[in-house]
Structure formats: C-alpha cells, structure tokens
Chain A
Amino acid sequence: MSSNDLQVPPIREDGLQIEERRDFQRRFWTAERAAWIVFGAIILLAIAGLRHGGGFLDHGSNKLQTGDIDFPQISRWQTADDFTIVFDREGETHILTLGRSFLDRFSIQNVSPTPFRSAMAQDGMRMQFDALGGGPHDVRLDVTPTRPGIARYRIDLDGATAELSTIVLP
C-alpha cells in the first residue's frame, strides 16, 4: 500500500470531504480548450491534404527541362501512393532513373507502362521506356513508403535531375 492510498481528503469549509484542486482544474480547462483548437487544426490540415488523400498539400509538382514529376509531398507509411512522370520531349525512348535513396525509402509495387528494359546502375535503377509519336508520355509508379520520416530522394528524367522530398507519416 503506497502513501497515496492512505491520504485522506481534507474537509472543505462547506463541510464536503473532497480534494477538489480548482487551481489545477482551471489550468486544465484552459489546456482543454487549447487542445480543442489543436483538434480543429488537425482536421483542417487533413482536409488540406496533410495526411494524404486529396487537398493542396497532398501532391507537389516539379518541372524539369525534360518533363514533369507529380510526387506525393505527404505520404503514409505502408500505404499505397503514386508518382506520375511526364516526359515532354519527343523521342523513341525515355530513360527514368530512380536514385538509391528513392529505392531505399519506397517499395515499387507497379510501373505503368512496363519498361522494356530496367537495369541496376551505380546511381540507382534505370528504366527505359519505348515511346511512339510525339510527347508528352506518362509513366505512373505505384509505390509504398517503407518507413516513416522525411524521405529525400533523386529522380532523373532523360538526364535532368530532380531532388525531391516526401514526408512519410507513421
């Protein structure tokens, strides 16, 4: 039995034997209201896309000379997400290189269209795509983040490099 078990609440002036900590309660009521504001802010940020699933914070776009990368700015650990790569330049083939840091932070579930050739290079994984007619040509990567945290990675589109980052929420 600890000393707390033996503590007897004081008798108040009105005769009630109770330990009412009104000073603490006042501070807690204020903290409670502040917490509700935080609750509201979380909902607003979720609507804005902070937790993925739509909203202006959800996906970002990076424009390169050779094309565009639509990437998730906010993602969730072990939850499917996608990158859309757009090759602007005309050409019979396009080369997409995913840096080692990308492969370390994302598990690739699907690449559409399927590259006709993919190879491991010193700087990451290089995928080569056939292209017909004029651009733009789109490639979609379905990925799953492998761990929470800030993922910083590199993607090359036909030689042009983009340094990107994604916040992966737990």
Chain B
Amino acid sequence: METVFRGLAVYLVLLIVTRFSGRRSMAQVTPFDFVLLLIIAETTQQALLGDDFSVTNAFVLIVTLFTADILLSYVKQWSSSAALLIDGSPTVLVSRGRPDPEALRRSRVNIADILEAARQQHGLMRLDQIEFAVLEVGGNLSIIPRDGS
C-alpha cells in the first residue's frame, strides 16, 4: 500500500512542479537540462522506493506510475477544463508578423528564441519572414513563415 501512495505522491509533486516551472524551460533543452533530468531521477528514486529494493516493489511502482498516467490521460480527454489546467493552451507569440510583447515576456521567450526556431525549422533569416510563432503546449516553438519566404 505504501508503495502505491509513494508513487502517486511523487507523480503528483513532479506534475505540479513541472507545470508551474513553465513551458519556457522545456522550450529550449540544453545539455544542462539533461543533467538536471538525471539528478531529478536520482533524487526521486529514494522517495519512490524507500527501503524496499525488491523486484516486486519496483514492479508495483512501475504499474502505479503507468496507471496514474493512463488515468490522467482519460481525465484530460473527458474534461477540457482538466486538460487546460494540466497541459495549458498554446500561446501565440507572433501574429501576422507582429510580436506580442505580453506573451513573449510572460512566457519568457525572446525574439532570439523565435529566430532560432525559424532558422532551424524553415531556414528563415529575418523576423519579417515570420507570419506566426506559437509556443505549443508541449513547450516547442512552431513557426509559420510568410507566403513567399
């Protein structure tokens, strides 16, 4: 029983902390982010397993985490409000070529980030070649170029 509660508690804490840390942190994954990911995994391990390193405990924990994830996906599917709360909504950063200062500032994305995504996705050279830039729910930047760019 304790294993299940441990698993659910850690799942919930990670979900809340990841959600509130903002999508900005996922928008640009650096090598250090991978290091951070490993440290978080290592830190979480003890809280998940406790003193029980048996295969049975690990198995129960894995099943608990996957089940929690499946249930959450159903909750999101059934309730659009829950999906909005858990995943958020996409944020339009550039509309018709005009950057949205509020969206950029509060999403912690700057023009350089948008230009980088534009170069990588479409080989664009300048801001005026960008029609739309959207910070997606998954944390990545989508760039839609202007016609003829």
Contact = CB atoms under 8 A, between A and B. Distances in A.
B27 interface: no
B84 A24 contact: yes
Task: State which size class the interface on B falls in.
Answer: 20 to 34
B138 interface: no
A19 B89 contact: yes
A143 B85 CA distance: 42
Contacts of B79: 4
Contacts, number: 54
Contacts of A31: 20
Given A16-B92, A20-B91, A36 B20 contact: yes
Interface in B82-100: 83-84, 88-92, 95-96
Grouping DSSP codes into helix (H, G, I), strand (E, B) and loop, the B interface class, with mixed when no group exceeds half, is mixed
A116 interface: no
Interface in A4-23: 4-5, 7, 12, 14-16, 18-22
B90 A19 contact: yes
A4 B92 contact: no
A26 B79 CA distance: 21
Contact of A24 (B89, B107, B132): B89
Interface string B12-30: 0000010010100000000
A29 B77 contact: no
B83 A4 contact: yes
Interface of B: 9, 17, 20, 22, 50-51, 77-80, 83-84, 88-92, 95-96, 103, 106-107, 132, 134, 144
Interface of A: 2, 4-5, 7, 12, 14-16, 18-22, 24-26, 28-29, 31-32, 35-36, 39, 78, 170
27 contacts: A2-B78, A4-B79, A4-B80, A7-B80, A14-B95, A16-B95, A16-B132, A16-B134, A16-B144, A19-B89, A19-B90, A20-B90, A20-B91, A20-B92, A21-B84, A22-B91, A24-B84, A24-B89, A25-B89, A25-B91, A29-B106, A29-B107, A36-B20, A39-B17, A39-B20, A78-B50, A78-B51
